[in-house]
Chains A and B, each alone.
Chain A
């Protein structure tokens, strides 16, 4: 019988991490759908976001919640600039998707080097806290035997990150499904040629998509620094891998599918940590990845828009 406190911790952790993964998947999917770019460097952009929060806190004493909107703006414009620098040239390739993969792999390596150059290769702690540090969600009577109550605790920083994350997800869903520019981005995923036929400047739209995706990566990085207050300059590939699992699970090029898939993956991860030996738990995500590719290659929510 699993301890009830641990069970609740896993559920809360699943949600907190799940929405972070959802955001990673969503931004990767914007890139894959609109630009046909597989962003291998996405993890590094997220880490860069975390280090941005770290640098703002340590050098200027800026609280992560203040760094968050600044990072969104800065990363957006960095994304737009990177788009014009890198992506249009891919069109000269016979296989833009393969080329994009290699190109972004190169970007990833460069970013790791730059990050370790500036911040050195150590894992850095984020020294900040909210008052109170922990928040008691509820008490469970007799959780550890008669008379010994348990409490389901969540770090306040995680709750704050969760709230911001949920707000961003709601805003993104609204953007993609209720506004014309959002619909234009989805339209580009569905039919890239037709987007140009209706007179939409595909380069401007793509640059916007790239900016949005990189801004989301930066935001994810800041939020991740709240959820896990230690930043590993070499953590990028792990984050990108989770992102790839999420977009395969949710359907490639399907922004909202990624949101659900992220939360599912968050739960799977937390529960396998709880229920399985540690070494086995790390495999579960990849078993899901392979299983989905075999059984439902279009993803749980996808309709096979990308072949």
Chain B
């Protein structure tokens, strides 16, 4: 497959890219007592795919939720283009050019596919022409959704629902998209389609933050990878670094039960 070697050839891309979104020494907790993030630092660079991997409960999803404002960091900073954004509510993130597709389903099951996409256009809902244009773009990307536009979102297959979520995230033309396990519980054929889609995003000027359990795919697609454990940084590097660094390889093999080759 073409994907396998592409990233390793694109050496130097990460180093040259500008940091757009940065978490520095972030601590966060649910309900004030269960601490999930304990000083996490992640840098997301423009038009790159930043992968975040780690064992279950490492705080990967929490890291994304905190970046998106669902959790307020108790300590540390989150900045977008050098501007502090921690403490902003999630509904302000879209206006700041960040879209989010969470791990658990984020569709409105009893609304049609079309209505789900239209709600994605909430920010510019009064501009009917732009809404229609954006919907057409989504249908062009995922033709199956045009066929199903009047079906209830909840009646779609898991993969099709994921397409709606991805399409809905893109209608606002975000600069950054955060994806939490985009292919969890999705058939392999559709998964491949989704990874191809993700890999093409930087060429469209969209920066990607990818949290994934599927370490092999994540390492293949990502320009740079962070390894998390217990809410802390445990390792990081480009895919090429991973291939060279025995320590990193060992760590991943041990925690994630996966051998990097």
Contacts and interface: CB of A to CB of B under 8 A. Distances in A.
Contacts of A193: 70, 90, 102, 106
Interface in A85-130: 94
A63 interface: no
Interface in A173-223: 180, 183-184, 186-187, 190-191, 193-202
B108 A202 contact: no
A303 interface: yes
Given A180-B118, A199-B91, A191 B106 contact: yes
B248 interface: no
B108 A186 contact: yes
A108 B173 CA distance: 47
B168 A186 contact: no
B123 A199 contact: yes
Given A199-B94, A199-B123, A200-B119, A194 B110 contact: no
Of A187, A197, A198, A200, which is in contact with the most chain B CB atoms at under 10 Å from its CB? A198
Interface in B82-125: 89-95, 99-102, 105-111, 115, 118-120, 122-123, 125
B23 interface: no
Q: Name the residue among B92, B95, B102, B110 with the largest chain A CB count within 10 angstroms.
A: B110
Interface string A144-185: 000000000000000000000000000000000000100110
Contacts, number: 72
Interface residues of B, number: 31
With a 10 A CB-CB cut-off, give which of A190, A196, A200 has the most chain B CB atoms: A196
Nearest to B120: A198
Contacts of A201: 89, 91
Interface in B42-59: none
Contacts of B93: 199
B109 A190 contact: yes
A104 to B, nearest CB: 23
B211 interface: no
B89 A197 contact: no
Given A197-B100, A197-B106, A198-B120, A186 B111 contact: yes
B117 to A, nearest CB: 10
B102 A190 contact: no
B113 to A, nearest CB: 13
A195 B94 CA distance: 12
Nearest to B69: A196
Contact of B107 (A183, A194, A199, A200): A194
Nearest to A200: B122
B119 A191 contact: no
B151 to A, nearest CB: 15
B110 A190 contact: yes
Given A193-B70, A196-B90, A197-B102, A187 B119 contact: yes
B243 to A, nearest CB: 36
Contacts of B120: 198
Contacts of B101: 197
B135 interface: no
A199 B106 contact: no
Contacts of B99: 197
B172 interface: yes
A187 B168 CA distance: 14
Contacts of A200: 91, 119, 122
B31 interface: yes
A190 B89 CA distance: 20
Contacts of B172: 199
Contact of B122 (A186, A190, A198): A198
Contacts of A190: 108-111
A199 B122 CA distance: 7
A89 B123 CA distance: 26
Given A194-B106, A197-B90, A197-B106, A183 B115 contact: yes
Contact of A183 (B90, B92, B111): B111
Interface of A: 94, 180, 183-184, 186-187, 190-191, 193-202, 303, 305
Given A187-B111, A191-B107, A193-B70, 4 more contacts: A180-B118, A197-B68, A197-B100, A201-B91
Closest 8 CB pairs of A and B: A199-B94, A194-B106, A196-B90, A187-B108, A196-B91, A190-B108, A201-B91, A198-B120
20 contacts: A180-B122, A180-B125, A183-B119, A186-B110, A190-B108, A190-B109, A191-B106, A191-B108, A193-B70, A193-B106, A194-B102, A194-B108, A197-B90, A197-B101, A197-B106, A198-B119, A198-B122, A198-B168, A199-B123, A305-B110
